[in-house]
């Protein structure tokens, strides 16, 4: 992630062309809100991009802060929120080196399509920092690429369309990564058609809750 900043700045010169850009919120997120499993609360959107999901959540009554490594992405996110008349807070930061510096607590953290940009050697500290940002009982969604996906040569380490280095995970290693801090509420391997590679793309979806006793505290 740290070495990819220049890649994300280039991609977000034209945010609509970002391979992962979508204006429609994920159906899993919509369902959690519609069933009131997630209710309006103080929320952190990690890797918010140009703010699509942050704006969606804020429109549902959530108090949202969105963060992204790309200054261009944050600039576009601020512009989009103003255009929609939606109040969000957007900040540019490196989530590997700076996340621990946030002096707030949240009730919900959304991290959609980010973790595969974080290589294994940085993941333990990252997850610990995420846990430290959540109140006890706070909810956390993480979605990342599954190692079963066939695109870009296969294997765990791959290079994506933008040139960014990616790490594809198994569901089991993710459960092990999160288990010291979080109770697993739901997990599934999620298949979608990945338009940029003409393959059925597989992702890991995990919905979690921060436990009362955590080594992060």
Could you tell me the CA-to-CA distances from 49 to 16, 43, 133, 148 in Å, in that order? 10, 15, 20, 25
Domain 2-11+40-210, CATH class in plain words:
alpha beta
Lowest mean pLDDT among 103-107, 163-167, 190-194, 201-205: 190-194
Higher-pLDDT residue of 201 and 188 is 188
Instruction: Please state the φ and ψ torsions of residue 79, each to the nearest 5 degrees.
Output: -65, -45
Per-residue pLDDT reduced to its tens digit, 35-56: 999 999 999 999 999 999 999 9
pLDDT tens-digit series, residues 196-216: 556 678 999 999 999 865 554
More confident residue, 19 or 27: 27
Residue spans per domain, the chain: 2-11+40-210
- Note the pLDDT tens digit of each residue in 168-178: 999 999 999 99
Per-residue confidence at 11, pLDDT binned at 50, 70, 90? confident
| pLDDT value, residue 216 | 44
Q: Look up residue 207 and give its two tokens.
A: 């919905």
- pTM here is 0.93
pLDDT of 193 > 80? The answer is: no
pLDDT in tens, 79-138: 999 999 999 999 999 999 999 889 999 999 999 999 999 999 999 999 999 999 999 999
Secondary structure of the chain in HEC code, one letter for each residue: CHHHHHHHHHHCCCHHHCCCCCCCCCHHHHHHHHCCCCCCCEEEEECCCCCHHHHHHHHCCCEEEEEECCHHHHHHHHHHHHHHCCCCEEEECCCCCCHHHCCCCEEEEEEECCHHHCCHHHHHHHHHHHHHHEEEEEEEEEEEEECCCCHHHCCCEEECCCCCEEECECHHHHHHHHCCCEEEEEEEEEEEEECCCCEEEEEEEEEEEECCCCCCC
- Are residues 16 and 82 in contact, defined by beta-carbon separation less than 8 angstroms? no
What's the confidence (pLDDT) of residue 8? 87
């Amino acid at each position: 992630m740290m070495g990819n900043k220049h890649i994300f700045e280039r991609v977000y010169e034209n945010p609509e062309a970002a391979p992962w850009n979508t204006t429609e919120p994920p159906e899993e997120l919509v369902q959690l809100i519609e069933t009131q499993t997630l209710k309006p609360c103080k929320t952190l959107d990690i890797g918010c991009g140009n703010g699509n999901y942050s704006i969606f959540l804020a429109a549902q009554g959530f108090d949202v802060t969105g963060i992204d490594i790309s200054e261009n992405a944050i600039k576009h996110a601020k512009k989009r929120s103003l255009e929609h008349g939606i109040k969000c807070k957007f900040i540019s930061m490196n989530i590997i080196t700076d996340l621990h510096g946030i002096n707030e607590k949240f009730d919900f953290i959304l991290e959609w399509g980010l973790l595969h940009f974080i290589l294994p050697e940085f993941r333990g500290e990252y997850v610990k920092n995420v846990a430290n940002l959540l109140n006890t009982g706070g909810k956390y969604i993480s979605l990342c690429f599954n190692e079963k996906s066939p695109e870009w040569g296969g294997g765990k380490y791959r290079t994506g369309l933008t040139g960014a280095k990616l790490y594809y995970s198994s569901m089991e290693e993710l459960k092990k990564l999160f288990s010291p801090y979080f109770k697993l509420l739901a997990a599934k391997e999620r298949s979608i058609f990945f338009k940029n590679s003409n393959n059925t793309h597989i992702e890991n979806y995990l919905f979690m809750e921060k436990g009362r006793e955590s080594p992060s505290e």
